[in-house]
Homo-oligomer: A and B are copies of this chain.
């Protein structure tokens, strides 16, 4: 058993390194992304799989204060029978249990809480293969992606949030001296204290596609700044967060703290406890990833809380010109295919001038570009085994329905196809659909078609494309934007358009970096500057609303001032 202070000391060097990385923003990672034996050990993969298998068909072992009965709500997109159940949450009991931990959690202080948080991450990392299976069979991500995005990448994002939260929380000194000279007398001398006080009970509402990656920044930022956290997973992806909560409670208890600082809120899909929790007067922080409709509802109704949302948007690609046409096609085809476009960062709207684009392989009309993109998709996804590793499985019927709807529209340049999976014959795997639209078809392309649906939209010229980028993103939001141009003036105009739109911009991605991916400690994910999100992962704004610094002051006893 280690105290929070001891945990801080053990992880101090890592925290300092992470804090430096967050400032420098060069590449840095604390948790290796490769699921290789040389890193994680000979037995890590098989023992992780055994641990996962041992969980199936049973009630997950986690204490939930006030739980009544159990719920069982998950279905593997790979068709595997899971049979998992969880204690069914009573939202009022959870809030009461969380609230009761506030004074003791506050007393631990920011450094001790950061020590606890890093210890939790270390133990989650050690369960990486077990977690990868859990992520794969709830989200539909292919195994390697589930390992990476659900594991080390999420852990790096968590550590980044811990580093930001700790830096912000200790920026005001915990004690300071104040000595003001007085004309013709002793100075006024005071001692002042600053205590970090969390805003209140925090709620994290997870999503079904990235249950850990999208939940960890809010979870860990709230913890370090002194708030107990209720973790409300999506009913379709409970297990990755149940494992997370289990580890949190284990570390808290071992440090002699009340484990109810972190609790799990599993529900039947109809229970609606997210809304109940989010509007409870004691819940003062809400982190949400998911649909625009519920995100907007939270922003409008959880008025007693600060609300951090990541919702839907129109990720946009402006095609102007390129000097690496093959690289462009290969990179874009991969971005559209990765996890079947079920990423909040997948491009949807591809804007191309009516007159076509200049490339190193000659001029390409929109028709020719559409055909070339279809060919690139075919090449990428031609081998079923490799295709399954890229596409993963379709997470739910909503995505399938949109795919069917889009496939039935006129203008399909690359139709969606079914792919069979060797290992999991029950998996639902589909290739992306790409349609051609006109700039006037805005009714179609100004809503988000979450999943593998993209539109190749003909515009008057690149200036028109940039105007559409700015206007549609300002109105409907976006998490990513990409421009391809070999013209410096177009790149400058694209940067201005992205600043006006309030979206991060990638330029000329033709190699091993994809617009859907952001790197912890370097790339911000999302921006509060457009309707798709209210904050970035992770910057100061994301952490500073989670706590207050409360001061006390008194005269220095040795200098009587009366």
Which residues of A approach B to under 8 Å, CB–CB? 23-27, 103, 106, 168, 171-173, 176-182, 188, 190, 192-193, 195, 197, 199, 299-300, 303, 324, 326-327, 495-496, 498-500, 502-513, 519, 522-524, 527-529, 536, 539-541, 544-545, 548-555, 560-562
**Contact A523–B192 (Cβ < 8 Å):** yes
- Residue contact A178 to B26, C-beta cutoff 8 Å: yes
The residues of B that contact A553 with a CB separation of less than 8 Å are 504-507, 513, 523
What is the chain B residue whose CB lies nearest that of A176? B25
The residue from B503, B506, B545 contacting A541, defined by CB atoms under 8 A apart:
B545
Contact A498 B23 (CB under 8 A): no
Closest-CB distance, A3 to chain B (whole angstroms): 21
**With the chains together, A522 CA to B299 CA distance in Å?**
34
A539: contacting residue among B103, B181, B499, B544, CB under 8 A: B544
Across the interface, A508 reaches (CB within 8 A) one of B27, B327, B554, namely B554
Residue of B nearest to A175 (CB): B25
- The prevalent SS among residues of A at the interface is mixed
| Nearest-Cβ distance from residue A190 to partner chain B, whole angstroms | 7
For A536, list chain B residues within 8 Å (CB).
548-549
What are the nearest 8 A-B pairs in CB distance?
A511-B561, A327-B562, A507-B554, A541-B544, A25-B176, A27-B180, A505-B552, A529-B548
For residue A431, give the distance in angstroms from its CB to the closest CB of chain B.
24
Identity of the chain B residue whose Cβ is nearest the Cβ of A562 in the assembled complex: B327
Distance to closest chain B CB from A109 (angstroms): 12
Shortest distance in angstroms between A161's beta carbon and chain B's nearest beta carbon?
A: 15
7 contacts between A and B (CB under 8 A): A25-B172, A195-B499, A502-B550, A504-B553, A507-B553, A524-B551, A536-B548
Tell me how many chains of this kind the complex includes.
2
Q: Given contacts A504-B552, A511-B188, A511-B555, is CB(A25)–CB(B562) below 8 Å? A: no
- Min Cβ gap A474→B in Å is 11
* Contacting residues, chain B, for A554 (C-beta < 8 A): 506-508
Q: Are the CB atoms of B512 and A561 closer together than 8 Å? A: yes
A326, A500, A562 pick with most chain B CB within 10 angstroms: A562
A38 → chain B closest CB, angstroms: 11
- Say whether A179 contacts B27, CB under 8 Å: yes
Indicate if the CB atoms of A498 and B176 lie closer than 8 Å: no
In the assembled complex, which residues on chain B have CB atoms less than 8 Å from the CB atom of A326?
A: 562
- Taken together as a complex, chains A and B put the C-alpha atoms of A438 and B184 apart, in Å, by 43
A303 to B300, CA, bound (A): 8
Given contacts A106-B499, A190-B513, A539-B544, 10 further A-B pairs with CB under 8 A are A24-B173, A27-B179, A27-B188, A168-B540, A192-B522, A197-B529, A300-B303, A326-B562, A503-B550, A523-B551
Q: Is the CB of A549 within 8 A of B555?
A: no
CA distance A479 to B351 in the complex (A): 53
Contact of A188 among B197, B499, B512 (CB under 8 A): B512
Chain B's nearest CB lies how many Å from the CB of A372? Answer: 16
- A508: chain B residues within 8 A (beta carbon): 554-555
Residues of B within 8 A of A195 (CB): 495, 499
Cross-chain contact of A25 among B173, B500, B527 (Cβ < 8 A): B173
A504–B561 touching, CB < 8 Å = no
A105 → chain B closest CB, angstroms: 12
By beta carbon, the residue of chain B nearest A106 is B499
For the complex, give the distance between the alpha carbons of A188 and B544 in Å: 33
A72 CB to closest chain B CB, in angstroms? 39
Asked whether A504 lies within 8 Å of B545 as measured between CB atoms, the reply is no
In whole angstroms, how far apart are the Cα atoms of A496 and B524 in the complex?
A: 37
| CB-based contact B496/A103 at 8 Å | yes
A549 B545 Cβ-Cβ under 8 A? no
Docked-complex contact B180 and A562, CB < 8 angstroms: no
CB neighbours (8 Å) of A560 from chain B are: 511
Tell whether, in the assembled complex, residue A548 and residue B527 are in contact, meaning their CB atoms are under 8 Å apart: yes
Complex CA gap A524/B548 in Å reads 10
